Chain A
Amino acid sequence: KQEVTQIPAALSVPEGENLVLNCSFTDSAIYNLQWFRQDPGKGLTSLLLIQSSQREQTSGRLNASLDKSSGRSTLYIAASQPGDSATYLCAPKGGRRALTFGSGTRLQVQP
């Protein structure tokens, strides 16, 4: 059974900092991995999808990397802004269709 761990659980940084969010998963047989953003009481916004054959994927100030063999993914956020404050979730997809979610990293960017 896939287990997903996200470190750190919470992070508070001043505006402008570059930061890295970590995700590890126990079953490396995945098809892809999605990173989501969740604002309090809101839905899940897909940020990036990185396929199992890819090492990196970029969208604007976001860069996700994937090391499938070691069961790790990182989300890099460049030049953080207060509007980036949210919970970030990673979710690998295995051979079945379901996503397995981590508990998330709660990010606070201080102005």
Chain B
Amino acid sequence: EPEVTQTPSHQVTQMGQEVILRCVPISNHLYFYWYRQILGQKVEFLVSFYNNEISEKSEIFDDQFSVERPDGSNFTLKIRSTKLEDSAMYFCASSLRTGEDQPQHFGDGTRLSIL
């Protein structure tokens, strides 16, 4: 069964450094998402992306965050200047469409640790 893949599985970065998290969504999907889960807390929505532009973002997704689909298969989340509070598990998800019959499929996540 097709799946969403994320790399790396664990990223350790010094505070203030830039980090790029990578995702390969399911190949025929058109909608892409990033969520994060701080340890012990709920999964929170960050951003959705369709047709090469952001379609929705949460208040968490401020100017230090950006997303990009650099080619036909990858979807990336960049954090420009990381802070300690950015430490979390970051999940990428994709869906074929956004209709009510369409599930979002999640990857296994990237654990980001900021030192």
Contacts and interface: CB of A to CB of B under 8 A. Distances in A.
- Interface residue tally of chain B, by bracket? 20 to 34
Interface of A: 31-32, 34, 36, 41-46, 49, 51-53, 89, 91, 93, 96-104
A49 B48 contact: no
Given A49-B101, A98-B48, A44 B91 contact: yes
8 smallest A-B Cβ distances: which pairs?
A: A43-B108, A98-B45, A44-B106, A101-B43, A31-B100, A49-B103, A97-B48, A51-B100
B100 to A, nearest CB: 4
Residue among A36, A99, A102 with most chain B CB within 10 A: A99
Contacts of A89: 43
Contacts of A45: 106
B109 to A, nearest CB: 5
